[in-house]
Amino acid sequence: NAGVTQTPKFQVLKTGQSMTLQCAQDMNHNSMYWYRQDPGMGLRLIYYSASEGTTDKGEVPNGYNVSRLNKREFSLRLESAAPSQTSVYFCASLKGYEQYFGPGTRLTVT
Amino acid sequence: LAKTTQPISMDSYEGQEVNITCSHNNIATNDYITWYQQFPSQGPRFIIQGYKTKVTNEVASLFIPADRKSSTLSLPRVSLSDTAVYYCLVGDMNTGFQKLVFGTGTRLLVSP
The residue-averaged pLDDT of A86-105 equals 93
CA proximity to B89, closest of B26, B22, B20? B22
Strands (E), chain A: 4-7, 10-13, 19-25, 31-37, 43-49, 56-57, 64-68, 74-78, 87-95, 98-101, 105-109
Q: Does B86 touch chain A (CB under 8 A)?
A: no
pLDDT at B1 over 60: no
pLDDT at B100 over 60: yes
- Pick B102 or B57 by higher pLDDT: B57
> Which residues from chain B sit within 8 angstroms of residue A58, using beta carbons?
99
The residue-averaged pLDDT of A11-36 equals 96
Chain A residues contacting B via beta carbons under 8 Å: 4, 30-31, 33, 35, 41-45, 48, 50, 56, 58-59, 90, 92, 94, 96-104
> Which residues from chain B sit within 8 angstroms of residue A99, using beta carbons?
36, 44, 46, 97, 100
The pLDDT score that the predictor gives to residue B81 is: 95
- Pick B30 or A78 by higher pLDDT: A78
Q: Which of B32, B96, B102 sits opposite A50 (nearest CB)?
A: B96
Tell me how long chain A is.
110
The pLDDT score that the predictor gives to residue A107 is: 97
Residue pair B86/B39 in contact by the 8 Å Cβ criterion? no
B18 residue type, one letter: V
> Which residues from chain B sit within 8 angstroms of residue A97, using beta carbons?
32, 34, 49, 91, 93, 97
The pLDDT score that the predictor gives to residue B31 is: 87
User: Min CA distance, B78 vs chain A (Å)?
Assistant: 23
The pLDDT score that the predictor gives to residue B96 is: 56
Percent pLDDT > 70 in chain A is 99
| Each residue's pLDDT tens digit, B30-78 | 888 999 999 988 999 999 999 998 999 999 999 999 999 999 999 999 9
* Contact across the interface for A97 and B34, Cβ inside 8 Å: yes
Terminal-to-terminal C-alpha distance of chain A = 36
The pLDDT score that the predictor gives to residue A76 is: 98
User: Min CA distance, A82 vs chain B (Å)?
Assistant: 22
The pLDDT score that the predictor gives to residue A69 is: 87
pLDDT at A87 over 90: yes
The pLDDT score that the predictor gives to residue A41 is: 85
